[in-house]
Chain A
Amino acid sequence: MVEQSPLWSVLLLPVALGALALFAASLNAGFAAAAAGRPVVAAELAGPLREGTRLLVRQRRRTARADVLLWRLGAGGIVVAALLASAVIPFGGFAVSDMPVGVVWFNAMEVLLWVLVWMVGWGGNSAYSLVGGYRFLAQGLAYELPLMFALTAPPLAAGSLRVGEIAQAQESLWFVVWMPVAFAVYLIGLAGVTFWGPLSSPASSDVAGGALAELSGIDRLMVLAGRYLMLAAGAAFAVPMFLGGGHGPLLPPWLWSVLKTLAVLGLLVWLGWRWPRVRPERLMTPAWLVLLPAVLVQVLIVGVLALARG
Chain B
Amino acid sequence: MGLIGSVRRAAFTRPHLLLLTAPGAAEVRIAVERFARRRGWPLADSPADADALVEAGVLHGEMAEVAETVWRQLPAPSIRMPLAVPAEVEPGLADLPARLASWRPETGEEPEAAPELSMADRAEDRDGLKLDVLHVPLGPLLPHWPEGLRLVTRLQGDVIQHAEAEVLGLGPDTRSFWAVEDRRAARRLDAIARLLGVAGWTAMQWRCQALRDRALADEPRDRLVGDLKAAAARIRRSRLLRSELTGLGAVAGTGDAADRLHQWLTEVVHDLRAPGGELAGSHPSAAEWLDMLPDTVVGAELTAARLIVASVDLDTAEAEQRSTTGVHHG
Contacts and interface: CB of A to CB of B under 8 A. Distances in A.
Contact of A279 (B48, B134, B210, B301): B301
Interface string A214-240: 111100100000000000000000000
A205 B45 contact: yes
Give the most central of A128, A204, A205, A220: most B CB within 10 Å: A205
A276 B240 contact: yes
A53 B134 contact: no
A212 B47 CA distance: 11
A249 to B, nearest CB: 36
Nearest to B306: A206
A209 interface: yes
A10 B116 CA distance: 46
A29 B101 CA distance: 23
A209 B49 contact: yes
Given A201-B200, A277-B199, A208 B46 contact: yes
A280 interface: yes
Given A33-B40, A209-B46, A216-B49, A58 B77 contact: yes
B38 interface: yes
Interface in B215-244: 238, 240-241, 243-244
B10 interface: yes
Contacts of A206: 142-144, 198, 200, 302-303, 306-307
B200 A47 contact: no
Contacts, number: 146
B303 A281 contact: yes
Interface size class of A (residues with CB under 8 A): 35 or more
A220 B48 contact: yes
Contacts of A207: 302-303, 306
Interface of A: 31-33, 35-38, 44, 47, 50, 53-54, 56-61, 63-65, 125, 127-128, 131, 134-135, 198, 200-201, 204-209, 212-217, 220, 273-282
The 10 closest A-B pairs by CB, nearest first: A277-B200, A209-B45, A35-B203, A59-B75, A276-B201, A64-B114, A61-B75, A54-B11, A205-B143, A216-B75
Interface of B: 7-8, 10-14, 37-38, 40, 45-46, 48-49, 51, 73, 75-77, 114-117, 134, 136, 142-144, 155, 157-158, 196-204, 206-207, 210, 238, 240-241, 243-244, 301-304, 306-307
19 contacts: A47-B14, A53-B7, A57-B7, A58-B75, A58-B76, A61-B73, A64-B116, A65-B117, A131-B158, A131-B302, A134-B157, A134-B158, A206-B144, A208-B143, A209-B46, A213-B48, A220-B48, A276-B200, A276-B201
